[in-house]
Structure formats: C-alpha cells, structure tokens
C-alpha cells in the first residue's frame, strides 16, 4: 500500500556519514559490535527524558524526532532516514535523550550501546570526527530554523520546510517533486511552529496558484522556484501577496 513510505535502505554502510572514512576492517569491527533494532510504524525508539543508552544508525524506514511542550503542543525537530545517525549524545554517560524518536514507517536500525560506543570511539578516531561533524551540522540547521522562526512569517517558514523536505526526501514524479513521506497538515504545522489551520489555508492558496498539489497527507511541489521566491520574501512570480512588511 503505502509506497510513500518505502525509503531506500542503505546498501553500503560505508556511505553513511557516520562511518565514512573508516577502513574496511574497521567497518567490519564496528558493524560486528552493533545490534539490530526494528521498530514498527507508530512505534517509539526512545522517549524524551529517558537515559541515553545507545546511538543508532538508520538502515531502512523513517523516524521523526519530536519534543512535547508542557501544554501538549508538539514540535517536530527533524525527520531521519536511511544513512542518518540518531542520538549522538549517547556517548556521555549522564545524558538523557532530549527528544522523542518515533517511527513513521517500519524501520530498521543498527544500535551501539554506550559502553561499546566509547570503546569504538577510542579505537577509531575517524568515528569521533564524523560524529562531531554530524553534531555541528545539526546545530547549524537548528540555529538556522531558530532564526527563521524568530524572524519570518508563517508562509515563509512553510515554504522553507517544504523546500527542505524536497531536498531531503523529494522524488521526481510527473509534474513535480513528491515529498516522499506521510506529511499531514498537522505535521507541517509542527515543523514550522504554527497550526494545522494556517497550514491548510496557505497550501490551499498555493494550490490555487499552481505552485503545488496536495492531498491527504501528501504534497507534490510543482514549482519549487516559486517556493524559493516566497521563502526569500521576493516579489512572487504570479502575484499572491498583498504587500511587503511596511
């Protein structure tokens, strides 16, 4: 059924950013020390606040990293797919997971427990460097989104979120690029810090302008360039917006 969810598995471990640059033997050792973990769609890998016991590397499927506010409001920090690492902070004994990781589709992951992990990091310095690079990339991305949330309005943020998803999980289909995961209005709202109602209105308008097509938890971007224009707050190609900010 849900062919949307079929993300390509990682064929060669060596391609995962976390493991890049490791020698063949090192790769083998690292792989040997991992355990495999499977999570069904809807299941949870770990929850915010739990002690961080393992680092994961995704092989198949899709996982969503979220935080929940005291009042129940949920925020999506990131989607993670094959090749991506999750929970780099598992290295540090005292830490708790800062997010909840829930499987959006049936997922398969490699897992390294903390003790194993520390040993591996000792023996394979490139691993540490890779992990640091991943961490700093994440940091950069979150900082960027923080700035966006602080300075931009909803339509811009939604445009940016869609563009990111296109880059991350876009799949060419006739007439545009399909965002290749189940993505409800609510999901988009939680990605951009708004409500599902506002997302719905904005998408409706864009659909009217021929920028995209959207259905039940599905989005196909037909004119990415138009989204870029909106994200960058340029004069829109068609017309659409009323006026700049005074």
Partner DNA sequence: CGTGCCCTTGAAGATCTTCAAACGCAGTGG
Partner DNA sequence: CCACTGCGTTTGAAGATCTTCAAGGGCACG
Which residues would be at the binding site for DNA (CB under 7 A)?
1-2, 153-155, 184-186, 193-198, 200-201, 203-204, 207, 214-217, 242-243, 245-246
42: left (phi over 0), alpha (psi -120 to 50) or beta: left
> Does the CA dihedral 88-94-100-105 come out positive or negative?
positive
- If one asks whether residue 123 binds a copy of itself (CB under 8 A), the answer comes out as no
Distance in Å, CB of 103 to DNA, minimum: 15
242 lines the binding site for a copy of itself (CB under 8 A): no
Question: Where does residue 121 fall: left (phi above 0), alpha (psi -120 to 50 degrees), or beta otherwise?
Answer: alpha
26 touches a copy of itself by CB under 8 A: no
204 binding a copy of itself? (CB under 8 A): no
Helix ranges restricted to H, 111-244 = 114-123, 125-151, 154-169, 185-192, 196-208, 224-231
Q: Does 152 contact a copy of itself by CB under 8 A?
A: yes
184 binds, among DNA, a copy of itself, none (CB under 5 to 8 A by kind): DNA
Tokens 């829930």, located at residue: 102
Q: Give yes or no for residue 145 binding a copy of itself (CB under 8 A).
A: yes
**What residues from 207 to 236 belong to the interface with a copy of itself (CB under 8 A)?**
232-233
Q: Give me the residue label for tokens 């138009």.
A: 226
Query: Strands (DSSP E) along 14-157, which ranges?
Result: 35-39, 44-46, 54-68, 74-80, 85-86, 100-113
Contact set for a copy of itself, span 65-84 (CB under 8 A):
67, 69-71, 73, 75, 77
In 3D space, the residue among 82, 138, 137, 73 whose CA is nearest the CA of residue 105 turns out to be 82
Which part of the chain contacts a copy of itself (CB under 8 A), choosing from 6-14, 18-26, 130-138, 213-221?
130-138
Taking the least distance from each CB to a copy of itself, the nearer of 7 and 202 is 202
* C-alpha dist (Å) from residue 229 to 15, 32, 69: 33, 48, 32
The residues of the shown chain that bind a copy of itself, judged by CB under 8 A, are 67, 69-71, 73, 75, 77, 88-89, 91-92, 95, 98-99, 121-122, 125, 128-129, 131-133, 135-136, 138-140, 142-152, 190, 192-193, 232-233, 245
């Amino acid at each position: 059924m849900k062919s949307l969810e079929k993300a390509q598995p990682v064929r060669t471990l060596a391609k995962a950013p976390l493991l890049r640059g490791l020698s063949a033997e090192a790769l083998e050792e690292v792989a040997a020390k991992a355990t495999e973990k499977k999570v069904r769609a809807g299941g949870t890998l770990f929850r915010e606040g739990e002690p961080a016991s393992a680092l994961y590397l995704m092989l198949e499927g899709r996982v969503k990293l979220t935080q929940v506010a005291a009042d129940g409001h949920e925020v999506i920090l990131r989607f993670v797919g094959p090749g991506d690492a999750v929970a780099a902070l598992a290295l540090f004994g005292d830490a708790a997971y800062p997010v909840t990781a829930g499987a959006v589709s049936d997922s398969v992951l490699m897992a390294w427990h903390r003790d194993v992990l520390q040993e591996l990091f000792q023996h394979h310095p490139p691993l540490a460097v890779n992990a640091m690079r991943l961490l700093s990339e994440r940091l950069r991305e979150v900082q960027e989104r923080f700035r966006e949330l602080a300075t931009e309005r909803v339509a811009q943020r939604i445009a940016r979120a869609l563009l990111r998803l296109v880059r991350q999980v876009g799949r060419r289909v006739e007439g545009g690029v399909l965002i290749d995961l189940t993505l409800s209005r609510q999901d988009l709202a939680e990605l951009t810090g708004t409500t599902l109602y506002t997302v719905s209105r904005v998408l409706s308008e864009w659909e009217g302008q021929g920028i995209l097509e959207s259905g039940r938890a599905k989005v196909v971007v037909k004119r990415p360039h138009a989204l870029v224009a909106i994200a960058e707050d340029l004069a829109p190609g068609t017309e659409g917006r009323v006026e700049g900010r005074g």
